[in-house]
């Protein structure tokens, strides 16, 4: 395993190319004028320079601008909300044009051995309410409902024929079905489009992997499970904060054998501390190849002290990660958790708040307990993924299919531990209310901490968090009080089921929230354990101490390569990576 890292670069700054490899980078995302054939000889030399100096290239393919095409064919324009998809993605004229562009670009790039991958589209977002899309939506609905009476019963509508059906423009109070069905159709349409891009690329060059640069925030409005199934690499862009890390954790959960590539890592041009955490956190959460945005007009990052510190922070930590990637960081990033978190099917407009609660409350609570969240989707639950997990956190799963609810109920009866809120599983995907009294009785159970009950169910149990917000009823998603409740409940459930790590970090004093703000991971490596601890942001942190199942024999700070006396162990306020041997 190798960790790839480097900048996004612009062609007009091509004379600065040599600084990239002199700083030790081994990956690059260049923007190149491949459509200008006069530049091809210079581009060829540029690409060969990267290869001979140890840098692999993520090549940008095609072009998302269609102004000229829309002037000739105005019927292909998408006038509804979109990002880099201002065209009807199913239109034959659009597909023909895209096929020509992909073919031409890859015909050029495939001759260069330093090109590692093709990324095929940038930051897509898409809705469309055109007549062409309405007709395609009707084709989607007919096999699902068979007759219009069945559709009317589900949609609470009074259409005379399928041909009268209109596309909903959003969720409509208590009648979610028209929008939910449109979202299912739209994700099928998007999968067909991105599958077309992948197959077109493979038809020109089957030897190189492809990826699409999805925005991390699209985890709240796209079916990422369906879309990332298409490509060889799980592509994305975003940063290393909790808003974006959920995307990496989701992809790692769904496709553990696919590399994660980010060809637009957003950074701050501020100082060493904040920027230095970016490569560490991304590597810890499974990133395999990252190109940060960007090597810009402030070339060489020498304009200010903060800029110089940013370049230092992008360079030295990444070199440390590369040096320590195999076996340490790779073992940490690929470790499978015994705690699963339910990630319900996404419906744009409804899922944003639910996903935010995962991002800012449930996921950070797990980070601080040494757990990389494993997201069990409704599809993977149907395939039996819960059998590999001891604890299921299902607190923010309010709208799930009947089959998902039945699977969770069976999981608890068979011996699993399920963490819920009173409103968990309250409705199916269409918003129809569900009786959950068998899984979540309104009363009964044993106290499990303040505002929490443990309820026996078959061979397992349900832990219901009845009081989550505490004194703050207007809790925002990034609410540390809610995160603290989840941390306390999940920690106790892990300890009681025997799935805590043999090497772990705990508060050194009396602060019950000492772990707040830490991203921690422990994994077994040959002869010992790798322990990584990263602060999530800049704030005053509580002191932590080691807790181990057996006495500690030896500690080595892997970053400094120095042995640490056991009695002197402490965390630096920055990246920490240790090798710990037990007696």
pLDDT of residue 541: 77
Q: What is the pLDDT of residue 471?
A: 47
- In the three-class reduction of DSSP (H, G, I as helix; E, B as strand; rest coil), residue 380 is classed as helix
Q: Are 477 and 360 in contact (CB under 8 A)?
A: yes
Residue segments in the chain with a per-residue pLDDT below the cut of 50: 471, 473
Residue with structure tokens 């960007």?
Answer: 294
Distances (CA, A) of 363 to 262, 335, 367, 377, 482: 20, 16, 6, 15, 12
d(CA 525, CA 388): 22
Q: In the prediction, which pLDDT does 178 show?
A: 98
Contact present, 183 and 350 (Cβ < 8 Å): no
Predicted local distance difference test score (pLDDT) of residue 273: 86
pLDDT at residue 304 in the model:
76
Phi, psi of 221 (to 5 degrees): -140, -5
Query: d(Cα 135, Cα 167) in Å, to the nearest integer?
Result: 10
Instruction: Report the DSSP beta bridge partners of residue 528.
Output: 525
pLDDT at 476: 57
Chain position carrying tokens 């609470």: 156
pLDDT tens track for 546-567: 999 999 999 999 999 999 999 9
Q: Tell me: the pLDDT tens digits for 215-254?
A: 999 999 999 999 999 999 999 999 998 889 999 999 999 9
Q: What is the pTM of this model?
A: 0.96
pLDDT value at position 534? Answer: 96
Q: What does DSSP say about strands 417-420 and 460-465: parallel, antiparallel, or unpaired?
A: parallel
pLDDT value of position 267 = 79
Alpha-carbon distance of 463 to 457, in angstroms, equals 10
Do residues 66 and 87 make contact, with C-beta atoms less than 8 angstroms apart? Answer: yes
């Amino acid at each position: 395993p190798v960790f790839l890292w480097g900048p996004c670069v612009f062609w007009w700054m091509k004379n600065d190319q040599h600084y990239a490899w002199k700083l030790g980078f081994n990956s690059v995302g260049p923007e190149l004028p491949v459509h200008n054939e006069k530049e091809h000889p210079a581009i060829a030399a540029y690409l060969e320079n990267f290869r001979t100096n140890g840098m692999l290239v993520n090549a940008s393919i095609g072009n998302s601008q269609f102004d000229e095409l829309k002037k000739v064919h105005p019927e292909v324009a998408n006038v509804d909300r979109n990002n880099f998809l201002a065209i009807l993605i199913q239109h034959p004229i659009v597909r023909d044009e895209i096929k020509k562009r992909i073919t031409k670009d890859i015909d050029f790039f495939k001759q260069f051995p330093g090109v590692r991958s093709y990324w095929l589209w940038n930051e897509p977002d898409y809705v469309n309410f055109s007549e062409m899309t309405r007709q395609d939506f009707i084709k989607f609905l007919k096999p699902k409902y068979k007759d219009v009476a069945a559709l009317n019963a589900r949609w609470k509508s009074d259409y005379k024929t399928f041909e009268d059906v209109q596309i909903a423009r959003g969720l409509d109070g208590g009648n979610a079905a028209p929008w939910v069905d449109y979202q299912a159709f739209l994700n099928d349409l998007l999968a067909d489009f991105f599958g077309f891009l992948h197959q077109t690329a493979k038809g020109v060059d089957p030897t190189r992997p492809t990826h699409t640069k999805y925005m991390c925030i699209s985890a709240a409005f796209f079916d990422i499970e369906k879309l990332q199934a298409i490509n060889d690499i799980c592509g994305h862009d975003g940063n290393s904060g909790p808003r974006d890390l959920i995307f990496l954790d989701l992809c790692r959960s769904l496709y553990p054998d696919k590399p994660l590539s980010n060809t637009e890592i957003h950074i701050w041009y501020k100082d060493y501390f904040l920027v230095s955490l970016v490569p560490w956190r991304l590597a810890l959460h499974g990133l395999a190849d990252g190109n940060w945005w960007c090597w810009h007009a402030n070339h060489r990052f020498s304009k200010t002290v903060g800029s110089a510190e940013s370049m230092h922070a992008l360079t030295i930590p990444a070199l440390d990660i590369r040096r320590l990637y195999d076996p340490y960081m790779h073992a940490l990033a690929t470790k499978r958790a015994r705690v699963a978190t339910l990630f319900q099917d996404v419906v744009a407009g409804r899922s944003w708040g639910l996903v935010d609660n995962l991002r800012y409350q449930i996921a950070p609570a797990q980070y601080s307990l040494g757990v990389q969240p494993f997201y069990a989707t409704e599809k993977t639950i149907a395939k039996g993924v819960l059998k590999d997990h001891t604890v299921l956190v299902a607190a923010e799963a309010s709208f799930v299919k009947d089959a998902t609810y039945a699977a969770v109920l069976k999981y608890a009866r068979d011996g699993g531990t399920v963490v819920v809120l009173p409103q968990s599983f309250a409705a199916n995907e269409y918003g129809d209310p569900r009786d959950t009294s068998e899984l979540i009785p309104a009363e009964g159970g044993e106290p499990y901490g303040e505002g929490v009950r443990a309820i026996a169910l078959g061979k397992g149990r349900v832990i219901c968090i009845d009081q989550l917000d505490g004194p703050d009823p207007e809790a925002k998603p990034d609410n540390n009080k809610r995160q603290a409740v989840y941390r306390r409940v999940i920690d106790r459930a892990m300890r009681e089921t025997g799935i805590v790590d043999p090497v772990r970090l705990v508060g050194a004093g009396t602060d019950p929230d000492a772990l707040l703000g830490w991203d921690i991971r422990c994994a077994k490596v040959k002869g010992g354990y790798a322990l990584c601890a990263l602060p999530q942001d800049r704030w005053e942190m509580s002191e932590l101490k080691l807790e181990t199942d057996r006495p500690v024999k030896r500690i080595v700070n892997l970053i400094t390569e120095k042995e640490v006396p056991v009695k002197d162990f402490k965390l630096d306020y920055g990246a920490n990576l240790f090798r710990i041997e037990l007696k």
